[in-house]
Amino acid sequence: MAAYAPSDRALSRAARILQDPRKLAAMLEQFRMPHAVLSAPVAQNRWGTRVTLAEEDVRSERAVIRFPWPALVLGFVPVVTKDSVGGSFTVEDIDVAIDIDTKDRITAQSEATTNTANDGTFVSLASISLQAPQPTLWMLMLTSPQPEVGFIFRSRYADSGGSNLGDDAIISVDALVCKLDREEG
């Protein structure tokens, strides 16, 4: 395979951009805009957990993914289904709080803010997903010998009377992970 070499035309265009302050400023401004990754690391393993958020419960029990070795979590793929036939839920209907080894919360809001409805630890389940329309690549390095990621779910419509979803929700989360070599951690 031949090495890449820019053409004379590309080099002269680059030189013109560098000499014109307005063109240079416009080019640099593009780098301040949000960008999406066109490729991502490939996960060697896929680990998952599943829990039911009962209609009468405000929150689910803590669902856990335990790894037998230090891990690099590339991202999460959440799925929400309805317990009975008919209708559906989406990841937009569910909020999640995530912790590492039951001590480090990774979905906390700013500590200067107190939001009693959200209690500062829940975010939309859609916001943690590797899937479109706004994929989130986590690259979460778990260095403890046998780390665990914990999830607590609730309806975004929850109140003290229950989930207000009208049915039980079955929530699954898969973690796409690579084994972390001891030297990397």
Tell me, which fold does domain 45-179 have in CATH?
A: Jelly Rolls (2.60.120)
The residue length of the chain stands at: 185
pLDDT at position 118 is 45
pLDDT at position 159 is 64
pLDDT at position 160 is 60
pTM of the model: 0.70
Domain ranges of the chain: 45-179
**Closest by alpha carbon to 125, among 85, 67, 170?**
170
Distance CA 4, CA 11 (A): 13
Residue 156 scores a pLDDT above 70? yes
User: What residues contact 85, with CB distance under 8 A and at least 6 apart?
Assistant: none
Q: Quote the percentage of the chain above a pLDDT of 70.
A: 71
pLDDT at position 36 is 57
The string of pLDDT tens digits covering residues 103-146 is 888 876 544 333 334 455 888 898 888 886 777 778 888 999 99
| Average pLDDT for the chain | 78
Distance CA 171, CA 128 (A): 14
pLDDT at position 10 is 67
